[in-house]
Each structure stands twice: as C-alpha cells, then as structure tokens.
Structure 1
Amino acid sequence: MRVLLLAFDTATPAITVALHDGADVLAESTTVDARRTGELLAPGIGAVLDAAGHKPGELTGIAVGVGPGPFTGLRVGLVTARALGDALGIPVHGVCTLDVVAYQSRRTEPFAVATDARRKEVYWAQYADYLTRTSEPDVAHPALIAERLSGLPVAGEGAVLYTEAFPKGIEPRHPSATALAELTALRLKDDPDSLLFPEPLYLRRPDAVEPGTRKRVSTG
C-alpha cells in the first residue's frame, strides 16, 4: 500500500517538518526559532512537499509531536495537524516528543530525555533504550530530579540549559521530524495502538489564562 506520511513537531524551539514514503525520508526542513512557530510551520510544510515533488492531496497520513511542550508552540502544531487531517480525510497520529528525541539518539543503554519547560523546569522521562520508555513524561525543576538521573546520559535541550543537574549531556538537543516520521512508520507497522490521539500533552496549566470576572467599582 502506498504511504506518504507528513511529520512535524513544534513542541520545542525547533519547527521541524519531514515527508516519509514508508521506507525513507524524502525531504526535511528544520528551523530553530521559538518565537515564530506560527509563521514558520506552514512554509516549512510547503517547502518539504515542493522539495519532494508531492501535493497535499497525495498524503496518506500525518504524524505530529504531542509534547510535552509549552502551550503556544505545541498548540500551533496540533491545530495544524488536525485541520489538515480533517481537510484531507486522512488519519493523524500523535507521538510523545520525548520519545522522538529518544529514538533519534539511538541509545541502546539506559538514559533520559529532558526538554525545556520554561519557568526553570524541564519535561523529562527515562528510557531503557531508544525504543523503550520506562517512566511517564513529567515536569520538574532540574535540581529535584538530578539525583534520580545521576550517572545517566541526558539528551535534549534540558541537558544543555542545566549542566549542573545533568552533566552527562548527549545529542540530540531538539527532535527532528525525520525521527518522528521513522518512529511513526515503525509503530504503524509493529504496534499501531502505541500511537496517540493528537491532543497536546501539557503536564501543567498554560501560562496564558483567561481573565477573571471584573470587580465592580463602587461609585457611592
């Protein structure tokens, strides 16, 4: 069966997009700019499709990183994925962004992944190897998990930002859509139930909240 999978992740400062044909990645585009996710994702998708010589109507599925990640960037990716899936009538597959970083590392021994959660915290999880997560994704201050992860290599931007807590930092720093596409293709083949519904994994309330009811001002 013909496969043409569009993959993208916006849960970190990397806006990364790739196109996969079920066997190989045909094209990829990545830009690191946390402030311009909304501006860069659609052009990135267009550039990848153009580079591979395909049109949106040829896609058979979408893979999207569901986080954990900061509210605004993550929402852009999820809304785009679900809108494209609805418009094209194709399935949308969610994958934990920490799993993407883990898969990209190709580590065959225990390690951890920690990405930037802002507020001086990290999103993190532990892995037995690049395909096997051994803890649920969580959010914490680096100092609170430093002892638990002591001695373990740590991939992701968290290891770059908090070297005192995670002195054994390893690559990659950010997820790549190539890794997302490859991992999604693998799970579609071997374990489709492990793919997630395309809903954002926030792990905490967003920074931006709706204003409360205004208090009445007494004039008497």
Structure 2
Amino acid sequence: MLVLAVDTSTPAVTAGVVRLDGGAPRTLASRVTVNARAHAEVLTPHIMECLGEAGLAPTDLDAVVVGIGPGPFTGLRVGMATGAAFGDALGRPVYGVCSLDAIAADTADDRDLLVVTDARRREVYWARYSGGARVAGPGVDKPADLEPQPSVVVAGSEAHVSLFDLPVVGTPSPSPAGLVAVAAADLLAGDEPKPLVPLYLRRPDAVEMADRKK
C-alpha cells in the first residue's frame, strides 16, 4: 500500500510517500521545510517532488494521511485542505491523525512520554503517552502550568522540550512514517475514515466584559 502523508501542524511543512505492507511503515521519499509562513507555497511542490523521487504517479497512491493538529489555524488548514483535495481528486480515502500521536510514534519508546509543540502565545500543545498509547490530552497550556511528571521523557518542538527537565527523545515534528503508523491499523483494515476535524484547541481571544473584571 502506498500512502501520501502530509502535516502542517508545526512550522515544519512535511510531505512524504510511505509504503505500508503490514510491517513498519517505510518512507520512500520525504520533504521537510521549516518555515511557518511557507505552508501554502511549498506543500504541493513537496508532494510532487516526493512522487517524482519515488517514481510514482498520483494515481499510484492508495490513501492519504494528514495531520489534524493540534496546530495554529492558518498553517493547519493548509495541510488538511491539500490532503483532502488530493484524496478527492484521486478518489482515495483520507485519514486524519493527531499530529502529537505521530511524534509519539516516531519515538518508538514505550516509556511515559510527554509531547509538546508550539501553540504560540507562550503556550504549548501537549499530550501524554504510556506504553505507546495516549493517556492524556491533547491540550493547550502555558509550560509553567504543565507538570513534567509522571512523564520520564519528552519529545517535540526543540524550543519547548528544553523547558521540561526530562531527557529528549524522538523528532521535533511529525514524520511521514509516524503519521502513517498512527493510521496503520485503519489503513490495513480498509476502514472508512472519519471526517477530517481540525484540532485547534485555541482559547478564544475575546472574553466577556464580566470575565475581564474578575
């Protein structure tokens, strides 16, 4: 099975073609550009470059996997819209996965893990994992309000993992193989994908006047 994987939930604009045949997902080609303002400009070229490097045509793809966040609105919608458009044009199923789950999958670590990424406004998106499964989150909080324990290792944004007194593991952003690993069971079973629903998790900018006075 050949899967296109894309993610724009972080400043990294990620695309890749992954082969999934029952074992660990194997990346055939990938492109990553770290630029929070370049999601719309580089994602589709990245996809086409990956297909070319793998010697594939778009019609060779069997499915699409896209990271649904959590992430900032502007960047996140680029990846989701692009992934949905490719799936629609090709008549292929599109599976959405939590981007933090993909980072966790990339660690290949069953220890208690904390994953954090940049939520801007001096906050982080976060989730906790134990035995490879998510046990809390995703959520959004200030780093000072997020206790490192019971996690024993941390993965995610390089600028934010350093805020927690834990050993760093894994990758700073979702990889194509990590994204596909999260969806692997559904892909191999041929399950119908759920509707793509973005995980923004953003607190509202506007508050009631009564709340401001408290």
Question: Mapping of 1:157-176 within 5 angstroms?
Answer: 157=157, 160-161=159-160, 163-176=162-175
Q: What is aligned with 1:213?
A: none
Shift of 1:185: 2.5
Which one has a bigger Cα radius of gyration? 1
**Secondary structure of residue in 2 paired with 1:18:** strand
Distance 1:155 1:65, change over 3 A: same
Paired residue for 1:203, among 201, 204, 207? 201
**Secondary structure of residue in 1 paired with 2:38:** helix
Shift of 1:162: 5.7
Summarize deviations over 1:60-101 as a string: whole Å, max 9, x none. Answer: 110000000011110000111111111111110000000000
**Secondary structure of residue in 2 paired with 1:136:** strand
**Secondary structure of residue in 2 paired with 1:116:** strand
**Secondary structure of residue in 2 paired with 1:172:** coil
Shift of 1:57: 1.7
**Secondary structure of residue in 2 paired with 1:134:** strand
Paired residue for 2:50, among 48, 51, 54? 48
Summarize deviations over 1:146-184 as a string: whole Å, max 9, x none. Answer: 3x5366311101x63363444433332111112212332
**Aligned mates of 2:203, 2:163 — CA distance in 1:** 27
**Equivalent position amino acid for 2:138 in 1:** P
Gaps of 5+ in 1: 210-220
**Aligned mates of 1:196, 1:116 — CA distance in 2:** 26
- What is the RMSD computed on CA atoms of the aligned residues? 2.3
8 Å CA contact 2:156–2:171 kept in 1: the answer is: yes
Q: What is aligned with 2:211?
A: none
8 Å CA contact 1:10–1:16 kept in 2: the answer is: yes
Q: What is aligned with 1:218?
A: none
- How many corresponding residue pairs? 202
2:133 maps to 1:135? no
Q: What is aligned with 1:217?
A: none
**Aligned mates of 1:105, 1:37 — CA distance in 2:** 25
**Aligned mates of 1:5, 1:44 — CA distance in 2:** 15
2:38 maps to 1:36? yes
Tell me the percent identity.
42
Paired residue for 2:86, among 77, 84, 87? 84
**Aligned mates of 1:93, 1:75 — CA distance in 2:** 15
**Aligned mates of 2:73, 2:83 — CA distance in 1:** 15
Normalised by the length of structure 1, the TM-score is 0.83
Normalised by the length of structure 2, the TM-score is 0.85
**Secondary structure of residue in 1 paired with 2:136:** coil
**Aligned mates of 1:167, 1:191 — CA distance in 2:** 38
